[in-house]
Amino acid sequence: MGTTAAALRAGVPAIIVPFFADQPFWGRRLAHLHLAPPPIPQQQLTAERLAAAIRTAMGDRDLRGRVRAIGNLIQAEDGVARAVEAIHQFIN
Give residue-wise pLDDT tens across range 64-79. 999 999 999 999 998 8
Question: Above 60 in pLDDT, residue 1?
Answer: no
**Residues 29, 52, 42, 1, CA torsion sign:** negative
Question: Above 80 in pLDDT, residue 5?
Answer: yes
Instruction: Identify the residue with better confidence: 11 or 82.
Output: 11
Mean of pLDDT over the chain: 95
Of the chain, the percentage scoring pLDDT greater than 90 comes to 91
Question: Above 60 in pLDDT, residue 39?
Answer: yes
- CATH fold for domain 3-91: Rossmann fold (3.40.50)
Instruction: For residue 21, give the amino acid letter.
Output: A
- Helix residue ranges, H only, 17-78: 23-32, 47-59, 61-76
Model pLDDT, residue 78: 86
